[in-house]
Amino acid sequence: MSEPKTLPTDVSVEDFIESVDHDRKREEAKVLDALFRKVTGQEPQMWGPSIIGYGTYNTTYASGRDVTWMRAGFSPRKAMHSLYLMGGYCDEQSGKRRDAQLERLGKYSRGKSCLYVNKLADIDMAVLEEMIGEDWETMNRIYPE
């Protein structure tokens, strides 16, 4: 089996955030980092060249492949922030609560396990904090350390 493409690195999260090109994206990355640290109680780690992750969990895919991945995280991409909130993806009940939260969040788009936000002013940060917290609790319940 092939190795995962995105792995934890020793790159400094602070150095990465300072290297984000666009001033607004850089400042918003600092806000997101502070929020994720507050909610998760975890120090972040870089995953690959551009994802900031908090905590880890291990799982086995249906294919039999064992994977270690972050419990939560984000990436301040050029176009949008990618928010990796795994709990709503890993648990049906949490996913249903997530749908109700998304109705209150504001302007976003989504992928399979990501939320995409253009700028933080477009969303309700209290709702995002709630979502991160519930996802964190779900991941801890499903994948205890």
91 or 26, greater pLDDT: 26
Ordered structural domains, the chain, with CATH: 13-142 (3.90.1150)
Start-to-end Cα distance in the chain: 25
State residue 60's pLDDT score: 85
65 or 136, greater pLDDT: 136
121 or 90, greater pLDDT: 121
Per-residue confidence at 71, pLDDT binned at 50, 70, 90?
very high
Structure confidence by residue, pLDDT tens digits, 36-46: 999 999 999 99
| Enclosing H/E stretch for 131 | helix 125-142
User: Cα(132)–Cα(35) distance, rounded to whole angstroms?
Assistant: 9
Per-residue confidence at 1, pLDDT binned at 50, 70, 90?
very low
